[in-house]
Amino acid sequence: MKIKLTSVMVDNQEKALTFYTDILGFIKKTEIPLGEHKWLTVVSPEERDTVELLLEPMGFEPARVYQKALFDAGIPLASFSVDDVRQEYERLEKLGVSFSMKPTKMGGATVAVFADTCGNHLQIVQV
């Protein structure tokens, strides 16, 4: 069994696509129009044929409640692995990304948490 697709709920797919590609550095893999929304995925440029991240529109009210509750509690919806958290933190901060947790050592990992401009906190992790 493998993970092929996971999703991040977003309040605006176009805004999310811009953030996840222009700021985080992912690349768009799939875009299929589905009426008001799209099947819109991004992938890591380092692993284009592995896990896709679906930028999933918030079309279901309970999902909005869940997303807001996580955000208000400061809980990251997703976690991304990086080689150097401090270096990535500095790069993202220069691009105007808002961090709620600066790089922090936690056991054998260093983590930082930031907002994605689409209603989520995300975490970067260096193990």
pLDDT tens digit string along 11-36? 999 999 999 999 999 999 999 999 99
> Which structural domain, as residue segments, surrounds residue 115?
5-126
* Contact call for residues 126 and 83 (beta carbons, < 8 A): yes
The CA–CA distances, whole Å, from 63 to 14, 56, 60 equal 19, 10, 5
- What region does 39 belong to: left with phi over 0, alpha with psi -120 to 50, or beta? beta
Summarised one tens digit per residue, pLDDT across range 37-96 is 999 999 999 998 999 999 999 988 999 999 999 999 999 999 999 999 999 999 999 999
CATH code (residue 78)? 3.10.180.10
- Phi, psi of 120, deg, nearest 5: -125, 150
- Phi, psi of 105, deg, nearest 5: -75, 130
Instruction: Give the pLDDT of residue 110.
Output: 98
Please state the domain count of the chain.
1
Angle at 50 between CA 116 and CA 47, to 5 degrees: 70
Strand pairing report for 76-81 and 121-126: parallel
